[in-house]
Amino acid sequence: MARQPNIILINCDDLGFGDLGCYGSEVNDTPHLDRLAAEGTRFTEFYMASPVCSPSRGAMMCGCYPPRIGFDKFTKGWVLFPGSPEGLSTQETTFARSLKDAGYATQIVGKWHCGDQKEFLPTRHGFDHYYGLPYSNDMGRQKDRCIWPPLPLMRDEEVIEAQPDMASLTQRYVEESLRFMRDNKDGPFLLYFAHMYVHLPLIVPEHLAVRSRNGRYGAAVMAIDWATGMLMAELDRLGIADDTLILFTSDNGSKAGEWGGSNGELRGTKGTTFEGGQRLPLIARWPGKVPAGRVCEELCASLDLLPTFATLAGSSLGDKQIDGLDVSELLLGGDTSPREYFAYFFQSDLDAIRDQRFKLHIGRANRDVKPWGREAICELYDLKADPGETSNVAAEHPEVVARLQAAAAELNAKLGPDGSERRPVGMASQPCPLTEYDEKHPYFAAEYDLSEAG
């Protein structure tokens, strides 16, 4: 039997499609990630299942569109906040659980954001150990914005520090990751490295800030690149690079604009179902297995990671229905994706659906009114010719519109607001925040010095 591969999944926060040198950036320095792409395959049609954090991450973990697992709406907003009662149900099978059951050592380092109550933490979902922040880094106490309790840094199920130094946190994450890799070098292991960057606030190391050509945003991207280089170097030092699949991606698109991020030529940003909100970089490297120097334009999604990992590891998918497809053959050099359609959900609403070429927008939230309204639309874009979604070609392709409308209607009947295949979200009976502010406590930073958020 072939050796089960080690798997390292690197997931950034709000990193856009155009933020890496190998995806066209001319302002961010990413030599290690560019080398990763040169030594592996760079995907150009890869999607996350939501344009915001919690639904995106829950969907990726479970191979399901967010509404299927109850991750489409939360009591406090689009995403989970400190003390939210909801979280990822322990009835769901995550890729960590699947791999752990197949004999893998499993570790998450970084951002979780699938529920901060004890029953929802990573250690209840197949991870042997956890070290990181349970939600976004703007959900702590900030200058002029002290609406949340102190930001908790956790080890397993315990808060080990409140209001940690963000500028050094990526370095601490790398240290934890290297220790895990060394302890499990004989494999197999799963390392899920979930970056804090480039989510606001951008609190970055000074030595990177002074070298960046793109302000603090560029410095945050440099930190991500450095961390990747460190993981690659450690694989070489341990002699296990050929036994390890590395995947690099981001949870949703960039906020772009004034912060310095870029979604390239794609329309829209984080929080939208235009391409800029959900089409993300995906770089895969596995020497001798994943073709080097390849650019893959086939359709695939984060939903596909769970079944693909299961195939590579010889593990189980569990007994729950999922939306992911096994793309292991595509990953290893195949020409065709098994994915016929990808659907774009905005909370509980199906906004758009695409096939290998065309994308049909069928609805859109009207954010100019409160509470937000929603309007039915019919906009068709040829994504191969027009990835920026600038020219509506619905009138020229009525047969494509009809086919995509039928596919959307079928999926909406299953997963829409009244869908027949929706499963309940996990609910905590007595939710409470993990930390409380104590004015006498010697925090590293009682309030972070930046008020930017989002």
Using CA atoms in the order 87, 107, 8, 205, what is the torsion angle rounded to 10 degrees? Answer: 90
- Whether 141 contacts 148, CB under 8 Å: yes
- Name the token pair of 6: 């080690």
Residue 368: predicted pLDDT: 62
Q: What is the pLDDT of residues 363-387, one digit of tens each?
A: 997 666 666 678 899 999 999 999 9
Catalytic residue set = 53, 113
Nearest to 203 by CA among 25, 447, 372: 447
pLDDT of residue 416 exceeding 60: yes
The pTM of the full predicted model, rounded to 2 decimals, is 0.97
* Alpha-carbon gap, residue 20 to 43, rounded angstroms: 13
What pLDDT, on a 0 to 100 scale, did the predictor assign at position 98? 98
430 confidence band (pLDDT: 50, 70, 90):
very high
Residue ranges per structural domain of the chain: 6-339, 349-415
Instruction: State pLDDT tens for residues 207-239.
Output: 999 999 999 999 999 999 999 999 999 999 999
Take residue 387 and report the two structure tokens written for it: 């990835």
CA–CA separation, 198 and 210 (whole Å): 17
pLDDT in tens, 192-205: 999 999 999 999 99
Band (347; pLDDT cuts 50, 70, 90): very high
Residue 34 pLDDT exceeds 90: yes
Residue 2's pLDDT band (boundaries 50, 70, 90)? confident
Find the length of the chain.
454
Residues paired with 42 in a beta bridge: 283, 295
Contact 371, 364 (CB under 8 A): no
Of the pLDDT bands very low, low, confident and very high (cuts 50, 70, 90), residue 120 is very high
CA geometry: angle at 263 spanning 261 and 264, to 5°?
Answer: 110
Is the domain 6-339 a CATH 3.40.720.10 member?
yes
Mean pLDDT score across all residues of the chain: 96
DSSP letter at 448 equals B
Instruction: Give residue 372's pLDDT.
Output: 67
> CA 62 from chain center: how many Å?
12
Indicate the class that CATH gives domain 349-415: alpha beta
Question: Alpha-carbon Rg of the chain, whole angstroms?
Answer: 21
Q: What is the pLDDT of residues 250-284, one digit of tens each?
A: 999 999 888 899 999 999 999 999 999 999 999 99
Backbone angles phi, psi at 353, to 5 degrees: -150, 145
Query: How does DSSP assign 225-259, residue by residue?
Result: HHHHHHHHHHHHHHT-GGGEEEEEEESS----GGG
- Token pair 């949340």 is found at 148
What is the rounded average pLDDT of the residues 95-124? 98
What local confidence, expressed as pLDDT, does residue 369 receive? 60
Predicted confidence at residue 371, as pLDDT, reads 65
Helices (H), 11-165: 31-38, 53-62, 95-101
Which stretches does DSSP call E strand in 67-121? 86-87, 105-110
pLDDT, residue 374, reads: 84
